[in-house]
Each structure stands twice: as structure tokens, then as C-alpha cells.
Amino acid sequence: MEVLGFMSIAEDPRRKVKGRRPPQGTPCGYCFNAWATVYDHLWPYSAGGDASDENLYPACKRCNLILNNRCFDTIDAKREYLRQVLLEKGEW
Ligand SMILES: [Zn+2]
């Protein structure tokens, strides 16, 4: 169904990503210690990151929550930040 003048809900890139999940059995790309259940945005949506495959990275819920909307220059910097947080919590 066409909704003239508006982007239909199905075309909303945000919704598309929300509905997408990593395939079952995909490890978290950050801690490698849990199954990925969501896609993390390498460049956060709130900072202009899009929903392209290149910007999505499989993550477990915990890592995704910790990383939240923080911006990092590289994936290694992201991983290192996460490692520090988990080390402090005694979960690494
Ligand atoms: Zn994780």
C-alpha cells in the first residue's frame, strides 16, 4: 500500500535494522563470549550512521548496551573500551 507524501513505515531504515538480527550461532564481535542477538552500529545512528551492511556489526545485548551511542574511530578502539569496562566489572 502506498502512503502518498510520507515514507511508509516499511521503508523506514530504522525499522529495517530493528527487524534484522544476526543469524543464529553468530558470536558477538566484541566479547566473543556470547551469541550476537543484535546489530551494533559501528557509527551510531544518532551520529549519522546508516543501516548499511558495512555499518552493522553483530553484538550481544550486553556489549551493545555498554557501547550505546559512543563514537569510536576504529573497531579496535571500540573493543578496547569495552574490554576496560568489562574488566572493571570483573566480567572479562
Ligand atoms: Zn558481547
Q: Report the distance separating Cα 55 and Cα 91, nearest Å.
A: 27
User: Average pLDDT for residues 36-65, to the nearest whole number?
Assistant: 92
Ligand 1 centroid, distance to 12 Cα (angstroms):
27
- C-alpha of residue 71 to centroid of ligand 1, in Å: 17
Domain boundaries, the chain: 16-88
Q: Is the pLDDT of residue 1 over 50?
A: no
- The dotted CATH code for 16-88 is 1.10.30
| pLDDT tens profile 29-47 | 999 999 999 999 999 988 8
**pLDDT over 80 at 59, yes or no:** yes
Ligand 1 center from residue 54 Cα (angstroms): 19
The pLDDT of residue 82: 97
> In this model, does residue 13 exceed pLDDT 60?
no
